[in-house]
Structure 1
């Protein structure tokens, strides 16, 4: 086998361990959710066992990452990004980042509608930053009721009850940065 191929194989275990730790999971947690024994997971992470396709597929599904990201497969020559929209809660989320863990980026589309939608405020772990591209966003955040026009941004802890919807019944497009473990967006400006 070539040295490059061996390097890729040896990097799988440490990559799996780093991803699990970044997600704040123990081997016991991962064993429960994947059905793979703790000892097998430990041997995979330490490099004492090579991962089978079956094990890698289970881990990729659990971490919600492409299999290529788990094994560190080299990118092919195709520079195009194939975005697969996710449809949830009547909205469309287009993932803009493919990095496992950490802050995730999405384009979010809230469709327009004729009828009145009763806000159903949700809470979950994390921190969210959003920027309105098009439309007028109604953001209910705790006791606040805000309307954000295009060009405005908001940032909030998602453990506060919140709801996003149209302020005027028209479609809205947003950019969203979401940190599942509470990471906040930080902007750094260079001065010359």
Structure 2
């Protein structure tokens, strides 16, 4: 795979993805398992990227390998959705654009989690497709049904999940900051 990749072009793309997400080399190294020195050489074009580097970096940046190396679009007009499974949700990216607002379809599974509001930079818009969604937003605790919409500044402590024992399907549109790590809104109680 490295024979067809221009190290300078790939390096520029890697640096652009990292800086747009406001991540340091150390943060990317921690999350990808690729060393800081290797990341630096990849970004400067002094080292060619291999699949061993690209696969974990694509996961960290939440892009496809084609997006990571900026491969040209093919003539195939079909949308190829690649769901990502989390402990309590399946997230399907609906847009592939990097750096701007992104849209996702989410299927939340009931798991008995208690609300744990968190905040981060950005803005979020949520539309309920199916089921009932519980949204805790600062002091508000509301249940949204099919066709209802919520929008909020994500710097406000928030949490959402299933309102009952059925899954919830929703659409979410968020800015690039919304993909970053959530910060705990209140400290957890110390155990005695």
Could you say which residue in structure 2 is the equivalent of 1:138? Answer: 134
- CA drift at 1:15: 0.8
Query: Tell me, what secondary structure is at the counterpart of 1:94?
Result: strand
Could you say which residue in structure 1 is the equivalent of 2:160? Answer: 163
What is the CA–CA distance in structure 1 between the aligned matches of 2:113 and 2:37, rounded to whole Å? 49
What is the CA–CA distance in structure 2 between the aligned matches of 1:57 and 1:89, rounded to whole Å? 21
Could you say which residue in structure 1 is the equivalent of 2:118? Answer: 123
Query: Tell me, what secondary structure is at the counterpart of 1:177?
Result: strand
- Cα contact 2:20–2:99 (8 A) shared by 1: yes
Could you say which residue in structure 2 is the equivalent of 1:52? Answer: 50
C-alpha distance 16-171 of structure 1, shift in aligned 2 (>3 A)? closer
- CA drift at 1:11: 1.9
Query: Tell me, what secondary structure is at the counterpart of 2:118?
Result: coil
- CA drift at 1:36: 3.6
| 1:56-107 per-position Cα deviation (integer Å, ceiling 9, x unaligned) | 2332233232111111112223222222333434433222122345433111
TM norm structure 1: 0.70
What is the CA–CA distance in structure 2 between the aligned matches of 1:58 and 1:118, rounded to whole Å? 29
- CA drift at 1:129: 1.4
**Unmatched runs of 5 consecutive residues or more in structure 2:** 180-192
Q: Greater Rg, structure 1 or structure 2?
A: 1
Could you say which residue in structure 2 is the equivalent of 1:74? Answer: 72
TM norm structure 2: 0.70
Could you say which residue in structure 1 is the equivalent of 2:185? Answer: none
Could you say which residue in structure 2 is the equivalent of 1:189? Answer: none
Query: Tell me, what secondary structure is at the counterpart of 1:150?
Result: coil
The counterpart of 2:24, out of the listed 26, 32, 56, is 26
Count of residues paired in the alignment: 174
**Unmatched runs of 5 consecutive residues or more in structure 1:** 184-192
C-alpha distance 158-86 of structure 1, shift in aligned 2 (>3 A)? farther
